[in-house]
A and B are shown apart, each in its own frame.
Chain A
Amino acid sequence: TQLLEQSPQFLSIQEGENLTVYCNSSSVFSSLQWYRQEPGEGPVLLVTVVTGGEVKKLKRLTFQFGDARKDSSLHITAAQPGDTGLYLCAGPPTDKLIFGTGTRLQVFP
């Protein structure tokens, strides 16, 4: 069974700080996705990483897929209150999604 562990589980930071969220598995994934979910809403896709070692940037968010395709990270630069939410890694997108345990981020102004 493929499992995705995320760390940290909770993160409370001040506006302007940087942070990194990690997603780890003992299994190889063909690709991984990152989602953000806000209260009362469904997850919204942020990015898909496919190639080992791949780095993708989405404004202040930087996503990296590990060389061995067993882990991924999300780095946010200069966090803003609008970044608040539940961040989820998931994979593989070509089948039923296996979601990570989630990281709840709170950014205070």
Chain B
Amino acid sequence: GAGVSQSPRYKVAKRGQDVALRCDPISGHVSLFWYQQALGQGPEFLTYFQNEAQLDKSGLPSDRFFAERPEGSVSTLKIQRTQQEDSAVYLCASSLAPTGYEQYFGPGTRLTVT
């Protein structure tokens, strides 16, 4: 398909495990965003890439969270030593424009930490 894809769609991790969440943006999209969405809430910004450069990581909740986009396309959000409060849906969005005027969202990865 031509949309944003994310994998896995569901992830169950035991507390303390490391997880890696993948985002495949729409081909050619310059900007890529990660958001965290708690149950019943609106998404909250985590980090933003323009091509391979991470321009804003102000929303990452702790140093356990790390994101990369090494070739300016696929991005990975890594969470080390997962905690129960990390349980949420992680959404990826991409945008053609550098400043992300219209963002296209993927279906999200639902992470449950037990």
Q: How far is the CA of A44 from the CA of B48 in the complex (A)?
A: 19
- Tell which of B59, B99, B108 touches A42, judged by Cβ atoms closer than 8 Å: B108
- Mark out the residues of chain A between 1 and 21 whose CB falls within 8 Å of any chain B CB in the assembled complex: 4, 6
Q: Are B42 and A93 in contact (CB under 8 A)?
A: no
SS class of chain B's interface: helix, strand, loop or mixed?
Answer: loop
Partner of B40, one of A42, A100, A102: A102
Q: Tell me, rounded to whole Å, the shortest Cβ–Cβ distance linking B3 to chain A.
A: 9
Q: Which of B42-69 contact A (CB under 8 A)?
A: 42-45, 48, 56, 59
A88 to B108, CA, bound (A): 16
Residue of B nearest to A44 (CB): B105
Main secondary structure on chain A at its contact with chain B? loop
Chain A residue total in the interface (Cβ 8 A): 22
Pair B101/A104 contact, Cβ less than 8 Å: no
**Contacts A43-B43, A101-B42, A102-B41: A96 and B56 contacting too (C-beta < 8 A)?**
yes
Q: Which residue of the partner chain B has the closest CB to A35?
A: B105
B45 surroundings in chain A (CB, below 8 A): 96-98
18 A-B interface contacts by CB (under 8 A): A40-B107, A41-B107, A42-B4, A42-B93, A42-B107, A43-B43, A43-B105, A45-B103, A45-B104, A90-B42, A93-B101, A93-B103, A95-B100, A96-B100, A97-B33, A97-B103, A99-B42, A102-B40
Interface residues of B (CB under 8 A from A): 4, 33, 35, 40-45, 48, 56, 59, 91, 93, 99-108
| Residues of A participating in the B interface, judged by any CB pair closer than 8 Å | 4, 6, 40-45, 48, 88, 90, 93-102, 104
